[in-house]
Amino acid sequence: MSYCNKKLIQPEYSDRIFKVLTGAAAILAALLMLGFFVQLFWYALPSIKTFGWRFLISSEWDPVKQVYGALPSILGTLITTGIAVLIAVPVSFIVSMFLVESAPAWFSVPVSYALDLLAAIPSIIYGMWGLFVFVPFMQSTVQPFLANTLHLKSIPFFGGNYNGFGFLTSGIILALMILPFVSAVMRDVFKMVPSVLKESAFGAGATSWEVTYDITMKYGARGLLGAVFLGLGRAVGETMAVLFVIGNIQTMPKSFFQAGTTIAATLANNFAEAEGIFKSSLFELGLILLVMSFLIQVLAQLWLKRISRQMGES
């Protein structure tokens, strides 16, 4: 760097302290990241030693016999996250497309602003709203409609009894929660598309949807995938919004209407009264969640880095 020419400025003692101090604070980030893994692994060790790999594929959950398995929680996390992303991604794609491309400014500016503010609302509010308002609504209206009117109950994964709680409800609440985040990123992606590209497509006679689908989406595909990753990362570890509406039962998921659990919900629900090997298995669940979200984040980071490098070259 040009401005720290050592011949002109005497390297003072105070500046060395300054650099070491700031550097130490920065390295804290890397150390904390490492500390997460070390700490959780250390406390999960008794459980890892006792149950081995079976912990990952066992669905047994018996506090009396002290036998625990993570499969219901892992599957629950995957199912709720999957539902959330499946709902939130197309909806936020269309919402942000509309807000950026075709809505008039008097509409899109306040709505974008409102969406940004909604991203700030704490997850426990979503959970509470889910418990007191949305679960009864699901039970009385949505689930009977899906099961009886649309006759989905004869299809596997949609059968069984329903009481409003469960995977579908959690997935929808999660989708509502991540929608503002995903649509914020997608709006940025849509705005990045050069207007020359869009204008020439319009000039060639394309309709607005064709411009969006063939030009904007293909130009911004990689950025859009980044948005999906972001939503995925949010949804996978969300605790409070899910805890209130999942039902918290340790069973293998058989139907989307059924109550179940996720890793985060299991942790929050059982941690207070857990002791010994039980607590250790909960730490192992935490470690699994950490590894899952770590992988998602690393993939997202590498992906975004690659995009910005390619954008820089072109």
Partner 1 sequence: MRRRGLVLRKTIDISMKLLSILFVTVAVAVMLWILYTVCSKGIEAFSWSFFVEPTKPYGIPDGGIANALLGTVIITIGAVIIGVPPGLLGGIYLSEFARNSKLGNIIRFSANVMMGIPSIICGLFVYAMLVYSTKHFSGFAGSVALSVIMFPVILRTTEDMLCMVPDALRESALAIGMPRWRATFSIVCKAASSGLVTGVLLAIARVSGETAPLLFTALWSDDWPFTFFTQPTANLTVTINEYATNSPFNVMHTRAWGAALVITFIILILNISCRIIFKNKEHAS
- Closest approach, Cβ 92 to partner 1, in A, equals 8
Size of the site for partner 1 (CB under 8 A): 89
> What residues numbered 89-128 form the site for partner 1, per CB under 8 A?
91, 94-95, 97-99, 102-103, 111, 114-118, 120-128
Find the part of the chain contacting partner 1 (CB under 8 A) among 141-149, 160-168, 185-193, 208-216: 208-216
| Nearer CB in complex with partner 1: 111/152 | 111
String marking each residue 24-63 x if it binds partner 1 according to CB under 8 A: xxxxxxx-xx-xx--xx-xx--------------------
| Nearer CB in complex with partner 1: 167/244 | 244
Asked if residue 210 binds partner 1 (CB under 8 A), the reply is yes
Asked if residue 179 binds partner 1 (CB under 8 A), the reply is yes
Find the part of the chain contacting partner 1 (CB under 8 A) among 60-68, 158-166, 218-226, 260-268: 260-268
DSSP assignment of the chain? -GGG-TTTS---HHHHHHHHHHHHHHHHHHHHHHHHHHHHHHHHHHHHHHHTTHHHH---EETTTTEE--HHHHHHHHHHHHHHHHHHHHHHHHHHHIIIIIS-HHHHHHHHHHHHHHTTS-HHHHHHHIIIIIHHHIIIIIHHIIIIIS-GGGSTTT-S---S-SHHHHHHHHHHHHHHHHHHHHHHHHHHS-HHHHHHHHHTT--HHHIIIIIIHHHSHHHHHHHHHHHHHHHHT--HHHHTTSB---S----TTS-B--HHHHHHHHGGG--HHHHHHHHHHHHHHHHHHHHHHHHHHHHHHHHHHHHHH-
Asked if residue 208 binds partner 1 (CB under 8 A), the reply is yes
- Closest approach, Cβ 34 to partner 1, in A, equals 8
